[in-house]
Chains A and B, each alone.
Chain A
Amino acid sequence: MMQQLPALLVLIPLILAPLCFLFRNARLAWFLSVLGGLASLVVAILLFEQIQQVQEIRYNIGGWEMPLGIEYRIDSFSAFILLVITGTFFLVSAASMRSMEREIVEDRLYIFYAAWLLNYCGLLGILITGDLFNLFVFIEISSLSSYAMIALGRNRKALMAAFRYLIQGTIGATFILIGVGLMYAMTGTLNMQDLASRLPEVAGSRTIYAAFAFFTVGVALKLALFPLHQWLPDAYAYAPSTVSAFLAASTTKVFAYVMFRGIYSIYGMTFISQYQHLELILITIAMIAAFAGSAVSIFQTNIKRLLAWSSVAQIGYIAVGASFFTSGGLAAGILHMFNHALIKCTLFLAVAGVIYRTGSVWIDDMRGLGKSMPWTMSAFTLSGLSLIGVPLTAGFISKWYLISAALDAGYWPVAVLILITSLMAVVYLGRVFETIWLQEPDQAVKSPLRETEAPMSLLIPLWLLVIANLYFGIDASLTGSTVEHTANQLIMNSP
């Protein structure tokens, strides 16, 4: 049984998704998602415990050995990201029912949950696969289902947002495929480990450089790294709220994982070090992302767009950590993947509660909500403080790692810029906090719905996430030591 765990991760959602379709019952479909989420969370925890003892866990699909068959390979990096993806999926699924019922047409709910599970399946597959073509397949599974989920959004603009995401996402996927194809042409293998050992022999060739460029640009598009982020704000803003919550927690993190995997495990430090400008280019791009994302957030009037633009900025933080090519920087990037997933998921979920009660995404309509929905709004405020990076929250630990990595690597302007962008976060979130807590509700929009809290089914997962946010801010020894170990392992094993 324990040997089959990696396969289970992919199989659980893959089996449950068609079941949703067969039964055509919304409640049952919801229940299956929660069950699947819980089961895969347990599997992820078991894998995480196993990985503490061994270097890596390998699994051959169908018993076919490595060069021929597809291999799943889990190391501490994938195990760590698995934890956060499965955890947030479980909690968001549990919270989703009431909110989804209100936000999309009832008779499409079961279809939604089928897409929801397929998306999850794809993301988990990306995290555990050791095969590049298989990676591409999983990317497609997760992407196609996420286009569908976004298109289900209530606002008509959701269709356009989904379409734009579809176009850009397909370009990204195509680039990835071209990159993979070129690598295959040069080395004759698709297995990541094999590839890593054979690439140095052909490293000087122009084809390999082209492959690297295609692969990283494709992944950067999926990751929404500036300036390839255009699809993200609309997609997050118009998708159903719980979808935004999960996408914000998972998609970008998983593609950051692919990016780091490609750079550190497949191409490796030796290849990177030949190309000296890369470090500076990546840092510049990442810092522009952080700066521009925060600046645009300040001027948003739609709370979901505000959070989406802030995600663009946070992706910059994740990327900048990995761009120093030091173990401290990589650790900071990975840590922020984990913490930011927690933070953004909580924020979007709290917004889902607001939309459930008020039906409005405008910040102006959040006036005085602190009085009528104190629990939801406290959750929003606490996780907002975490996004800013106030001490005793997870976000602070990320900032601490990131800035000390920047200083250790000698990039003090980066440290200063990170602090400036944190202050910008104070501005854009402070405005929302003030609206929530200090302004009086507008009499005209007073409706009986406004007077109550979000449903319990949403509040409980929401507060579990808030507690996680605080816990990982007060006692970061688990996350801290894991990311340090992971970063060291990635760099040591890097070809």
Chain B
Amino acid sequence: MNTQLAMMMTILVPIIGAVLIRLCSARPNLREAMTLLTALLLLVCVGSLLPAVLDGHQPELLLLETIPGLPLFFKLEPLGMIFALVASSLWIVNSVYSIGYMRSNNEHHQTRFYICFAVALASSMGIALAGNMFTLFVFYEVLTLSTYPLVIHKGTPEAKRAGRTYLGILMGTSIGFLLLAVLWTWSVSGTLDFQAGGILAGNIQGPAVALLLFLYMYGLGKAALMPIHRWLPAAMVAPTPVSALLHAVAVVKAGVFSVVKVVVYIFGLDLLNSVSASQWLLYMASFTVLTASVIALRQDNLKRRLAYSTISQLGYVVLACAVLAPLSIIGAGLHIVAHAFGKITLFFAAGAIYTAAHKTQVSELDGIGRAMPWTMTAFAIGSLSMIGLPPTAGFISKWYMLLGALSVDQYIAVAVMVISTLLNAGYFLPIVYRAFFKPADQSHPHGEAPLSMVVALSFTAAMTVLIFLFPQTVLSLAQQIVELN
């Protein structure tokens, strides 16, 4: 398959999938088969692009010219490859998991659920492949809109309120800040293409750089930089598969992915290094990492605790970017992968607990490890990855981020990462301890969640360990990002 066709199909396959899912809405088994088939095909398309990118090529595809001089244009570079691979491979796992979850919990509107999921994946692929900021912005907005029905899926007043927060913050920031930033960039540099070394150097200087950086960082609300993080805990009212794939992987990763893209390919490390005013990002990211962790410590609702942990982990990626060292950029790329696999495992486990035991609070989890050994073992592995301990993927990314911070003497960042590691241990290990070592409540005996869910979460947990053992592919992609610059 030639690369242009493969790129085209990467965007189109989920959209065609959405149409097929709609057509099969009357026959649930066929409909779910369509979801799985689409997810599988998508992975094949993305996977077929991998060799070319590993060889150092950057396949391009010009879709059409929306406005003269401003095309919908795709160009796959290593970072996009990482994001596309993570999102598309986890979609398969998540689909297997969703089928078990949605059926066991008798959720309504299942067709709408799978359609929106497919569209959300298509827009994630669009973001991953985007060759210019305009294309990225377009798909970024589509992603917000397509995930909104998933957030309000339950239809309860609480869900609607959460939906309003979700849409309000994400649309508000992207229209209010991001669009302005994009247009400002377009106005001063005359192009929006992602170019190695950035496009802004020489076109803008002084405090304006810091202001533009502010507009970008707070325009990309999906990265959940404090204080615009509130949409993420709010989105936790959605069914767990949504929280797992979208609010631990696709949506939030689209946010931090865009942050890395903007820092590396729009500003360029050199420009940001030369303007000391852009230091604010480092402090704000540090603040986010620590504050979110402290809040997470105090959450009893498991999904909310995971949500705040996500905010903190996203803060790591932004922090790694703000350090502005090549090694930390590698760390940022790796962390997108590591956190995705770790966090999806944790969410899967939370959903499995909800399905099997109908428990949502941390304080209810005493002794649950004995009833659900697979689930809680996977949870433990995911927790280790969040903390950043071997033998999990989280260790490698944190290692690179620390090396990066040390290489440019950013001791604040180092300190933040160390403290945050302790905080992470503080809010994850007690759950594991509780699950395995506290006496169980015997009043409602239950076993493991449905098989499809257990398979899914065991797989992602295994992947978390495997990435630690065999990090070569991901590592070489991440290193390419830096070598290009």
Contact = CB atoms under 8 A, between A and B. Distances in A.
A397 B67 contact: yes
Of A390, A420, A422, most buried by chain B (CB within 10 Å of CB) is: A390
Contacts of B65: 475, 477
A120 B164 CA distance: 42
A403 B179 contact: yes
B471 interface: no
B172 A423 contact: yes
Contacts of B68: 477, 480-481, 484
Contact of A407 (B142, B145, B184): B184
A400 B70 CA distance: 11
Nearest to A399: B179
Contacts of A392: 138, 142
A422 B183 contact: no
B186 A404 contact: yes
Contacts of B176: 419-420, 423
Nearest to B188: A407
By DSSP majority rule, is chain B's interface helix, strand, loop, or mixed?
helix
A404 B175 contact: no
Contacts of A422: 175
A407 B189 CA distance: 12
A391 interface: yes
A404 B180 contact: no
Interface residues of B, number: 27
Contacts of A403: 179-180, 183
B131 to A, nearest CB: 16
Interface string B29-65: 0000000000000000000000000000000000011
A391 B142 contact: yes
Contacts of A475: 64-66
B206 to A, nearest CB: 16
A385 B175 CA distance: 13
B175 A423 contact: yes
Given A392-B138, A403-B180, A419-B179, A476 B172 contact: no
Given A430-B167, A475-B66, A477-B68, A419 B180 contact: yes
A404 B142 contact: no
Contacts of B137: 391
A216 to B, nearest CB: 30
Contacts of B171: 423, 426
A408 interface: yes
Nearest to B186: A404
Given A474-B64, A476-B67, A480-B67, A426 B184 contact: no
Given A400-B67, A419-B180, A438 B155 contact: yes
A336 to B, nearest CB: 14
Interface string A472-489: 011111001100100000
A491 interface: no
B328 to A, nearest CB: 32
Nearest to B155: A438
Interface string B152-185: 1001000010001001100110011001100110
A110 B183 CA distance: 50
A407 B190 CA distance: 12
A434 interface: yes
Contacts of A461: none
B155 A404 contact: no
B175 A426 contact: yes
Contacts of B138: 391-392
Nearest to B69: A480
Interface in A383-432: 385, 388-392, 397, 399-401, 403-404, 407-408, 415-416, 419-420, 422-423, 426, 430
Interface residues of A, number: 32
A438 B164 CA distance: 12
Interface string A422-455: 1100100010001000100000000000000000
B264 to A, nearest CB: 23
Contacts of A419: 175-176, 179-180
A480 B69 CA distance: 10
A422 B66 CA distance: 21
B156 to A, nearest CB: 11
B281 to A, nearest CB: 22
A394 to B, nearest CB: 11
Contacts of B141: 390-391
B476 interface: no
Contacts of A408: 187
B59 to A, nearest CB: 23
A405 to B, nearest CB: 9
A401 B67 CA distance: 9
A397 B155 contact: no
Nearest to A426: B171
Contacts of B164: 430, 434
A149 B67 CA distance: 38
Interface in A137-193: none
A477 B183 CA distance: 19
B180 A415 contact: yes
A475 to B, nearest CB: 6
A474 B187 contact: no
Contacts of B179: 399, 403, 419
Contacts of A401: 67
A124 B164 CA distance: 44
A404 B183 contact: yes
Contacts of B184: 407
Given A403-B183, A408-B187, A419-B180, A397 B175 contact: no
A407 B187 contact: yes
A164 to B, nearest CB: 35
Contacts of A391: 137-138, 141-142
B183 A407 contact: yes
Contact of B67 (A434, A438, A477): A477
A404 B176 CA distance: 14
Contacts of A474: 64, 66
A416 B180 contact: yes
A426 B70 CA distance: 25
Nearest to B66: A476
A415 B175 contact: no
A415 B66 contact: no
Contacts of A423: 171-172, 175-176
A391 B176 CA distance: 14
A438 B152 CA distance: 9
A401 B179 CA distance: 12
Nearest to A404: B183
A403 B180 CA distance: 8
Nearest to B160: A438
Contact of B160 (A388, A434, A480, A481): A434
A346 to B, nearest CB: 18
B175 A389 contact: yes
Contacts of A484: 68
A401 B186 CA distance: 11
Given A408-B187, A415-B183, A419-B176, 6 more contacts: A399-B179, A423-B171, A423-B176, A426-B171, A475-B66, A477-B68
11 contacts: A391-B137, A400-B70, A401-B67, A407-B187, A419-B180, A423-B172, A434-B160, A434-B164, A473-B66, A476-B67, A477-B65
Interface of A: 385, 388-392, 397, 399-401, 403-404, 407-408, 415-416, 419-420, 422-423, 426, 430, 434, 438, 473-477, 480-481, 484
Counting from the closest, the 6 A-B pairs by CB-CB distance are A391-B138, A407-B187, A480-B67, A403-B183, A391-B141, A476-B67
